[in-house]
Amino acid sequence: MRKIGAAMLDRGYDVEFWQCSSDNDSLDGVLIPAISCGVIDGTPPHNTDPKYPGAVEEIFDLGLNWDRALLKARRQEIISLTDEISGLFKAAYEKLAEAGAIIETQVEENKAKVDQPLLRQIAAELTESIYHSCRPVSRHLFSTAVTPKGMLSFCESLAGLAANRWYLFGPRGCGKERLLEALAAEAEQRGHFAEVYHPALLPEQIELLLLPDLDTVIVDSGETAPAYAVAADHLVDCGKFCPASATEQDTSHALVEEAAELIARAKAMHDKLEQYY
């Protein structure tokens, strides 16, 4: 897939490389939008069957190339590794679910304290500063993932795609999330193409809104302004919507790190499993 993507880049096409979260140095697919063509990994855990086999999609069964005698000789090792990998992923997802629940609790606690009139005022000001008019389309993707190397974020590189950058920062639940939701809805209402990026732990929330036709990006940069922001960038302190309060110890980061360690162990075993194949 990587060679196909590189070959199409050499031919002058824009290519999307879809990263694999359980092995962020690997790919789950490549897409060449201009010719409506893509190649994806259809094997577990993201089994994908063609909708119109033969008529539209093609199946390439690389299993035709394997050495069955060699794999049968390694039957027990393959079964053992596969089952252990599944167990590690199950444990990792349990920790990520726990971390997500902690973050959701923090968001809900702060929502009740938000200065709603001030939030609406800032939303209106941002709307008028950013939008004009165009066509109503949106596309939803992920901007972060929990990988064997820890939490991986593409927010900085995505922000670099636009000249006009707005960074929203402040504690969880202070209003950043609702500002981004309102701006995404307004983009569609006003007919702007939008790429809507979601965080790995709370996929129903928005982390980054990219508006290519306006050369604009709006980013939830966390509790503080990003270190990579430059003088021309717009910084919006959303902490002023919500009074500061003492909070319990945030253990979500530790849980995410533990989950990443489990995923890293699963990847090491998967690498060993791949050697058999």
Give the tens place of pLDDT for each residue, 47-70: 888 889 899 999 999 889 889 999
With left for phi above 0 and alpha for psi between -120 and 50, is residue 63 left, alpha or beta?
A: alpha
Residue 136's pLDDT is what? 57
The answer, yes or no, to whether residue 217 has pLDDT greater than 90, is yes
Average pLDDT estimate for 262-266: 95
The answer, yes or no, to whether residue 243 has pLDDT greater than 80, is no
Residue 247's pLDDT is what? 57
Which of the two residues, 2 and 135, has the higher pLDDT score?
2
Residue 132's pLDDT is what? 67
Query: CA 61, CA 116: separation in Å to the nearest integer?
Result: 56
Average pLDDT estimate for 241-253: 73
Structure tokens at 35: 């010719």
> What residues form DSSP beta bridges with 195?
139, 210
The answer, yes or no, to whether residue 208 has pLDDT greater than 90, is yes
The answer, yes or no, to whether residue 158 has pLDDT greater than 80, is yes
Average pLDDT estimate for 165-176: 92
What is the residue type of 6? A
The answer, yes or no, to whether residue 148 has pLDDT greater than 80, is yes
Query: CA 67, CA 70: separation in Å to the nearest integer?
Result: 5
Residue 173 CB contacts under 8 Å (≥ 6 apart), including other chains: 106, 107, 108, 109, 110, 111, 114, 242
Residue 245's pLDDT is what? 59
The answer, yes or no, to whether residue 194 has pLDDT greater than 60, is yes
Q: pLDDT tens digit string along 3-36?
A: 999 999 999 999 999 999 888 889 999 999 999 9
Query: CA 257, CA 209: separation in Å to the nearest integer?
Result: 26
The answer, yes or no, to whether residue 107 has pLDDT greater than 70, is yes
Per-residue confidence at 133, pLDDT binned at 50, 70, 90? low
Average pLDDT estimate for 110-124: 85
| pTM for the predicted model, two decimal places | 0.75
Residue 179 CB contacts under 8 Å (≥ 6 apart), including other chains: 119, 122, 123, 126, 168, 236, 238
Residue 270's pLDDT is what? 92
**How far lies 271's CA from each of 22, 68, 171, in Å?**
11, 19, 39
Q: What is the chain's mean pLDDT, rounded?
A: 90
